[in-house]
Amino acid sequence: MEELYQTVKEQVKPVEAQIDGVIPPWLNGSLLRNGPAMYEVGPEAYKHWFDGLGMLQNFKMENGKVTYCSRYLRSQAFVRAEARRGIAYAEFGTPLPPDPCKNIFARFFSYFVPPERTDNCSINVVTMNGQTFASSDSPFLIGFDPSSLQALAESLEVKKSSDKLSVVKIRKTIYGCNKLIKRHSSLKDKHSVHNDEVSAVYSAP
């Protein structure tokens, strides 16, 4: 299982992949993938497979050839971790390391204060309205360019977060549904937005 915790380097410049077999010449497009890839930051290490900082990958297929590139998602979790040379946010199985600048009493009371939510969107890739986003179970979506994999400057907050389904955008906020929907049925969900109530309908084919 140790190989699952290996930190992977970025491959920002596209390289041609070696192909075992034949890629049909009509199969053109990009396969985007997302997942944890950095497990050590300075002297500190993440303690769970899910917790590594997210990396985006692009397998581009064109005229029977495949090129590959990858880039770490520049989330606040990544940027702050790089700046402080240590873990900046608590993750699923990794608590935030104690601040060495705090005295023993401040450290004790910090256990009663909820930590900031991480925006390490390292699970899925979703598209909405022509835009591409990295997502996870945290209440954030981070937009990125699917060609260069560079993160966009603005991220979106998510209400009722889900790594798979988020469908309604209101004032830069995404509203999603975590409930299981049966086939050939629909579900009406309600959200409170600025003292108003908004309804969204989710349908399953």
Asked whether the beta carbons of 177 and 202 are under 8 A apart, the reply is: yes
Indicate whether this model's pTM tops 0.85. no
- What is the arithmetic mean of pLDDT over 81-99? 89
Tens digits of residue pLDDT in 100-121: 655 555 555 455 555 688 999 9
Q: Residue 103: CB partners within 8 Å, gap ≥ 6?
A: none
The pLDDT mean for the chain works out to 79
